[in-house]
């Protein structure tokens, strides 16, 4: 597979490397009020525990700049300043600790104002994400009916990127998001061909509420990642930012690009099943949210889909009539009653965690 990720320019966001073959980074955006520093820091810490590696914070007005500076100073994660319309906020954020700026030149107010932001970011030695969305294209492309939406997104990104290059600023991350999965896929594929040197931030914008947004994001982001496109991602859900980070990791795990949390395999229920498979799998899924260990866990409803089909799992159960055979690395260890399955699985996972902890370097 031609992996575009290996060819992009590597940049730094705080202490994190992005692009140039670095691991695909998971990020999210706070939904707390920026003025509430304590609430913001609490959510950042919760996101960190979910594996979030970059966090974005909105700066709605100049009244929020003092709080933003405190957040940057105390955050355990690199903080990206999210600025729209008022370029002066981006200029100010660059000297208040922002690890990166996120702007859309289509709504920032012209190239003269963009130049001020570029100069501020250059002085602070921080990168900028040029985030082009369907709702804020370069003015001359907005009403051009000769171009598709994907073509407008890419044309806007090319125009802005070329201007940045002429100003000598190349610490850029690019994104071309739309709410439409096909439009987003077409735009990113084209942008990756046109500007292969720039790291790409993936996402489906305004993807929707939890279930629909997860499906759209998994298809859109997952398709691009599988093609080797994309250096960082944000799953945009009308839901908790913690859920965004969780889904982001699930996408990476499903593609076997990165794994941080347990990966659950469970078979569909059928007439052969003689336990409450849905209930057991749901309980296991909930309990695994407490575990930060890259293990594969299998919950199988009968011997047909037992250790044989899930032999790659680190730990699992193959259920029978009111009971389950607990197995590890494809080998059956013991059998427990249906009511004990969940705790038995968690106990075996805990033993794996302990083994990793005491393993010598």
What pLDDT score was predicted for residue 3?
81
Write down which residue in 207, 228, 254 finishes a domain.
Answer: 254
What pLDDT score was predicted for residue 334?
92
% of the chain residues with pLDDT over 90: 66
Claim to verify: residue 213 and residue 329 sit in the same structural domain: no
Taking only the tens place, the pLDDT of each residue in 192-243 is 999 999 999 999 988 778 889 999 999 999 999 999 999 999 999 999 999 9
Claim to verify: residue 143 and residue 165 sit in the same structural domain: yes
pLDDT at 11 over 80: yes
Taking only the tens place, the pLDDT of each residue in 153-186 is 999 999 999 999 999 999 999 999 988 999 999 9
Output 276 or 273, whichever has higher pLDDT: 276
**Res. 360 pLDDT band, cuts 50 70 90:** very low
From residue 18, give the alpha-carbon distance in Å to each of 22, 23, 52, 199: 6, 8, 14, 7
Give the dihedral sign, CA 59/62/64/68. Answer: positive
Claim to verify: residue 180 and residue 149 sit in the same structural domain: yes
Claim to verify: residue 297 and residue 348 sit in the same structural domain: yes
What pLDDT score was predicted for residue 356?
61
Tokens standing for residue 351: 């033993």
Claim to verify: residue 246 and residue 269 sit in the same structural domain: no
Question: Which of 19-33, 96-110, 143-157, 299-313 ranks highest by mean pLDDT?
Answer: 19-33
Taking only the tens place, the pLDDT of each residue in 104-129 is 887 888 889 999 999 999 999 999 99
Claim to verify: residue 217 and residue 269 sit in the same structural domain: no
Claim to verify: residue 88 and residue 220 sit in the same structural domain: yes
The alpha carbon of residue 163 and the mean position of all alpha carbons in its chain are separated, in whole angstroms, by 28
Task: Tally the domains of the chain.
Answer: 2
Taking only the tens place, the pLDDT of each residue in 229-240 is 999 999 999 999
pLDDT at 355 over 70: no
Taking only the tens place, the pLDDT of each residue in 17-45 is 999 999 999 999 999 999 999 999 999 99
What pLDDT score was predicted for residue 361?
39
What pLDDT score was predicted for residue 359?
43
**CATH number of the domain residue 350 falls in:** 3.30.413.10
For residue 270, what are the domain limits? 263-358
Burial class (CB in 10 A: 0-12, 13-18, 19+), 129: buried
Burial class (CB in 10 A: 0-12, 13-18, 19+), 15: exposed
Measured N-to-C along each axis, helices 210-226 and 181-194 cross at an angle, to the nearest 10 degrees, of 30
Mean pLDDT, range 255-260, rounded to an integer: 90
CB contact at 8 A, 85 and 75? no
Write down which residue in 204, 221, 254 finishes a domain.
Answer: 254
CB contact at 8 A, 234 and 248? yes
**CATH number of the domain residue 39 falls in:** 3.20.20.20
Claim to verify: residue 241 and residue 319 sit in the same structural domain: no
Claim to verify: residue 277 and residue 231 sit in the same structural domain: no
Claim to verify: residue 248 and residue 175 sit in the same structural domain: yes
Q: Which residues contact 5 (CB under 8 A, 6 or more apart)?
A: 19, 21, 24, 228, 229, 230, 231
pLDDT at 306 over 80: no
What SS3 state is found at 235? Answer: coil
Write down which residue in 224, 254, 284 finishes a domain.
Answer: 254
- CA nearest 321: which of 306, 343, 340, 338? 338
Give the lowest-confidence range in 10-14, 268-272, 311-315, 333-337: 268-272
Cα(284)–Cα(281) distance, rounded to whole angstroms?
A: 5
Mean pLDDT, range 270-283, rounded to an integer: 88
Claim to verify: residue 269 and residue 235 sit in the same structural domain: no
| pTM of the entire predicted model | 0.89
Claim to verify: residue 272 and residue 198 sit in the same structural domain: no
From residue 129, give the alpha-carbon distance in Å to each of 32, 102, 108, 189, 258: 22, 5, 13, 18, 23
What pLDDT score was predicted for residue 358?
43
């Amino acid at each position: 597979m031609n992996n575009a990720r290996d060819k992009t320019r590597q940049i730094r966001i705080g202490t994190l490397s992005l692009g140039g073959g670095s691991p695909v980074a998971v990020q999210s955006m706070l939904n707390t009020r920026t003025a509430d520093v304590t609430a913001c820091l609490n959510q950042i810490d919760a996101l960190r525990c979910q594996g979030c590696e970059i966090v974005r914070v909105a700066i709605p007005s100049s009244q929020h700049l003092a709080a933003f500076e405190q957040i940057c100073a105390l955050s355990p994660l690199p903080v990206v300043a999210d600025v729209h319309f008022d370029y002066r906020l981006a200029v100010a954020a660059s000297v208040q600790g922002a690890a990166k700026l996120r702007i859309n030149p289509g709504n920032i107010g012209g190239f003269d104002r963009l130049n001020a932001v570029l100069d501020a970011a250059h002085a602070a030695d921080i990168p900028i994400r040029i985030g082009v969305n369907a709702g804020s294209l370069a003015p001359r492309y907005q009403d051009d009916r000769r171009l598709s939406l994907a073509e407008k997104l890419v044309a806007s990104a090319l125009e802005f990127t070329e201007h940045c290059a002429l100003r000598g600023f190349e610490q850029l991350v690019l994104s071309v998001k739309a709410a439409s999965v096909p439009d987003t896929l077409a735009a990113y594929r084209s942008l990756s061909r046109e500007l292969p040197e720039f790291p790409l931030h993936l996402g489906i914008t305004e993807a929707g509420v939890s279930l629909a947004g997860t499906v759209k994001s998994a298809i859109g982001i997952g398709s691009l990642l599988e093609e080797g496109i994309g250096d960082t991602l944000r799953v945009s859900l009308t839901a908790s930012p913690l859920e965004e980070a969780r889904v982001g990791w699930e996408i990476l795990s499903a593609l076997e690009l990165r794994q941080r949390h347990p990966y659950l395999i469970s078979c569909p229920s059928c007439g052969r099943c003689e336990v409450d498979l849905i209930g057991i799998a749901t309980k296991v899924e909930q309990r695994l949210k407490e575990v930060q260990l890259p293990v594969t866990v299998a919950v199988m409803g009968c011997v047909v889909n037992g250790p044989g089909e899930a032999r790659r799992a680190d730990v699992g159960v193959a259920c029978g009539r009111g009971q389950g055979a607990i197995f590890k690395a494809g080998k059956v260890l013991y059998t427990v009653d249906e009511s004990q399955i969940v705790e038995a699985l968690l106990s075996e996972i805990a033993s794996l965690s302990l083994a990793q902890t005491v393993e010598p370097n």
